[in-house]
Structures are given as C-alpha cells and as structure tokens.
C-alpha cells in the first residue's frame, strides 16, 4: 500500500499507536469535551455552559459570542447588547493571541466530519478532485457579509453547519443536520478538503485572526526529513508545510502561513519526528543527524 493512501503507517510502526496519534486523540477529546460542557446541562441537568457556539454563558458569568456572528449582525444594521459585544471581544482576543484557526481543528464539530471524509478519500484513492483555490473562502466570507447587509439578516446562520450540530445535540435533532452529510459527501467526492479548506466562511474569518498566532508548529527537525510525504498527504492545508520544511539554512522552521489550523497531524504522522508544537518566536533547529546509518534507535540513544 502506498504511503499516500495510508500516511502514518510508518510512524505507528516506529513509535507506537499513541505517539503516532497523540495530537489527533487530544483534538478529538477537545472537540467532544467542549460539546460536553454544553451538553451536560440539557442531558444531566448540570449547567456549565448554556447556549451554543453562537453565543454562550458559562457558569452565569462568562459571556462568549462568535465574533463573525456579531459582525454579520452589525452589517445587517443592528447594534448588539453589551453582553454580546463583551462576549465577542473575549473570543476575538483569545483567538488573536493563540491563533484563530485553532478553533477549526480543536473546537469545531465539523472538523471530525471533514477529517473522516479526507481519510476515506485517501483510502479510496479518489485524488484531488475539484481544485478550488484556497482563497475562495475569503470571497465566500465577503459574499456572506454582503448578503447580510443586503437582507438585514444574519444570513449564514440559515445554513451554518457548526451551530446546526450544536443545536441538534443541545435542543433536539434537526433536519439541518443533513447539511453535515452534504458537506461530508462534498469533501469525499467533489473536492479534497473542500469545505474547511476552501469554502467555510467561519474558517476564513478565523484565518484572518491567525496571522499573529502564538501557537505554531515548527519543522525544527527538518534536517531529518526523508521526504516520505506523509505530512503533505495528511495536512488539510498542504500548502503551509513546504515553506518551513524546505527552507534552507537559518530560515525559520515555523509554519507561519495563516491557513495552518495547528491540528498537529503532521507531528503525529512523521516517522522522523520532524515537527513539534511551539510558539512563533522559537527559531531553534535540530542539529543535522550524521549522514548515514542514523536509524531511529540510534537517534533515541543520542537524545
């Protein structure tokens, strides 16, 4: 089986299941955990977070509001209450600091769906499909804001699959969930990473908050790279890797592209452990390993 169809096999053989899936497991726990913080209220009567990802209230004191939602409301000519403005400011500040697209890979409930579609797509060897440009999403975002302004409604909420999933879990099943199935099929058969990587205006918005992200992935071990291409195969935004991985000499090993969602999947699947999570100012590079005979066991002993 080619590695492209099943990236991460080598990493699993060398480092074991948990190391080769560590960040993936943490991410799934994060996505599920955040949903559970909302869901233990209606399910068990233990109220931690009320509301949905659109706007919520934690322990009756911490208001959080999706800033894109509020932006649509503003262009629809409605001035929101202080509660919503404060909530949006908190969310905005948080993601500006750690990196907006952390939302995409660690919070958004659609991520597991599109990840599953991408996985199935690789296994079925479906190929790239419809080659949308990665900046298409900004035009979608523009379209959403324009439509909000034209109609005076928060227009993306009519089809927002993210809040649709949350409402379905928290307030009862909805036909809106069929949108999620459509997205799955779109990503599976039409375009690789089509929704999250090319269309979703929420991702586009959080991408705009991602330019100053503190949490970044570094290719600090790039001298060890043996070009197995597993990281490219698994990355939902594959154009972000090359500048850091293929850079020469002292050039930064940090993946600075704002499309990077900091999902950490490249860290998992790399048998050479080239990548690691760090902050954006970390310029350290690993020493190049001896040119020959340096297998993984020896590397471990050296370390």
Partner 1 sequence: MANSEKKGGSGFDPKRRRALKDMATYCVGATAITAFLAGLGGLSRSLPAATLRPPGALPEREFQSACVRCGLCVRDCPYNTLKLAEVGDGPAIGTPYFIARSVPCEMCDNIPCVKACPTGALDHSLVKIDKARMGQAVLTGRETCLNMQGLRCDVCYRVCPLIDKAITLQMTHNARTSKHAIFEPVVHADACTGCGKCEKACVLDETAIRVLPIALAHGEQDKHYRRGWEEKNKAGKELVPGVIDLPDRMPAPPSLSKVPQ
Minimum separation from the CB atom of position 206 to partner 1 (A): 17
Please, which residue, 140 or 247, has the CB nearer to partner 1?
140
Please give the Cα distance from 122 to 111 (Å, whole number).
Answer: 16
Is the separation of the CB atoms in 229 and 245 below 8 Å? no
Please, which residue, 175 or 281, has the CB nearer to partner 1?
175
Helices assigned H by DSSP within the chain: 9-15, 17-44, 67-75, 82-98, 102-106, 111-123, 136-151, 161-171, 178-185, 194, 201-208, 230-234, 242-245, 265-269, 296-302
Query: Which token pair is 207?
Result: 């991408």
Question: Binding to partner 1 by residue 182, rule CB under 8 A?
Answer: no
- Asked whether the CA dihedral 165, 69, 92, 186 is positive or negative, the reply is positive
Is the separation of the CB atoms in 215 and 281 below 8 Å? no
Q: What is the largest CA-CA distance in the chain?
A: 66
Is the separation of the CB atoms in 144 and 160 below 8 Å? no
The binder of partner 1 chosen from 73, 111, 114, 257 (CB under 8 A): 73
The binder of partner 1 chosen from 114, 148, 257, 261 (CB under 8 A): 148
Please give the Cα distance from 57 to 65 (Å, whole number).
Answer: 9
Please, which residue, 154 or 263, has the CB nearer to partner 1?
154
Angle at 219 between CA 213 and CA 225, to 5 degrees: 160
Strand partners, 63: 57
Please give the Cα distance from 177 to 181 (Å, whole number).
Answer: 7
Stretch that binds partner 1, among 14-22, 146-154, 210-218, 230-238 (CB under 8 A): 146-154
Residues 228-247 that bind partner 1 (CB under 8 A): none
The binder of partner 1 chosen from 10, 31, 35, 55 (CB under 8 A): 55
Question: Binding to partner 1 by residue 134, rule CB under 8 A?
Answer: no
Minimum separation from the CB atom of position 34 to partner 1 (A): 15
Residues that bind partner 1 (rule: CB under 8 A) add up to a total of 52
Please, which residue, 152 or 290, has the CB nearer to partner 1?
152
- Asked whether the CA dihedral 98, 99, 103, 106 is positive or negative, the reply is negative
The binder of partner 1 chosen from 32, 43, 62, 83 (CB under 8 A): 83
Question: Binding to partner 1 by residue 54, rule CB under 8 A?
Answer: yes
Minimum separation from the CB atom of position 30 to partner 1 (A): 21
Please, which residue, 26 or 208, has the CB nearer to partner 1?
208
Question: Binding to partner 1 by residue 152, rule CB under 8 A?
Answer: yes
Please give the Cα distance from 289 to 302 (Å, whole number).
Answer: 10
Please, which residue, 42 or 256, has the CB nearer to partner 1?
42
CA 170 to centroid of chain Cα atoms? 23
The binder of partner 1 chosen from 142, 182, 227, 277 (CB under 8 A): 142
Residues 24-43 that bind partner 1 (CB under 8 A): 41
Please give the Cα distance from 14 to 8 (Å, whole number).
Answer: 10
The binder of partner 1 chosen from 3, 12, 34, 51 (CB under 8 A): 51
| Intra-chain end-to-end CA distance of the chain, in Å | 32
Query: Which token pair is 299?
Result: 């590397």
Stretch that binds partner 1, among 94-102, 171-179, 250-258, 288-296 (CB under 8 A): 171-179
Residues that bind partner 1 (CB under 8 A): 41, 50-52, 54-57, 63, 65-66, 69-70, 73, 76-81, 83-84, 87, 133, 136, 139-140, 142-144, 146-148, 150-159, 163-164, 167, 170-172, 174-176
């Amino acid at each position: 089986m080619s590695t492209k169809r099943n990236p991460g096999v080598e990493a699993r053989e060398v480092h074991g299941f948990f190391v080769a899936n560590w960040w993936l497991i943490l991410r799934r726990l994060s996505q599920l955990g955040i949903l559970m913080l909302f869901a233990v209220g209606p399910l068990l009567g233990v109220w931690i977070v009320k509301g949905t990802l659109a706007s919520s209230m934690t322990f009756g004191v911490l208001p959080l509001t999706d800033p894109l939602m509020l932006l649509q409301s503003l262009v629809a000519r409605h001035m929101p209450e202080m509660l919503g403005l404060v909530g949006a400011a908190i969310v905005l500040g948080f993601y500006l600091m750690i990196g907006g697209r952390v939302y995409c890979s660690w919070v958004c409930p659609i991520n597991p769906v599109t990840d599953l579609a991408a996985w199935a797509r690789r296994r079925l060897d479906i190929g790239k499909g419809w080659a949308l440009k990665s900046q298409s999403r900004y035009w979608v975002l523009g379209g959403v804001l324009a439509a909000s302004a034209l109609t005076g409604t928060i227009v993306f909420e009519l089809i927002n699959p993210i809040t649709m999933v949350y409402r379905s879990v928290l307030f009862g099943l909805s036909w809106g969930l069929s949108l999620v199935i459509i997205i799955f099929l779109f990503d599976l058969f039409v375009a690789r990473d089509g929704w999250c990587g090319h269309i979703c205006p929420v991702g586009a918005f959080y991408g705009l908050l991602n330019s100053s992200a503190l949490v970044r992935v570094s290719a600090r071990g790039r001298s060890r790279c043996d070009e197995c291409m597993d990281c490219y195969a698994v990355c939902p935004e594959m154009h972000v890797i090359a500048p850091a991985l293929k850079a020469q000499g002292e050039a930064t090993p940090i993946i600075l592209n704002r499309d990077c969602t900091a999902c950490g999947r490249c860290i998992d699947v790399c048998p050479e452990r080239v990548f690691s999570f760090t902050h954006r100012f970390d310029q350290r590079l690993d020493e190049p390993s001896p040119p020959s005979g340096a297998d993984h066991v020896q590397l471990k002993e050296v370390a």
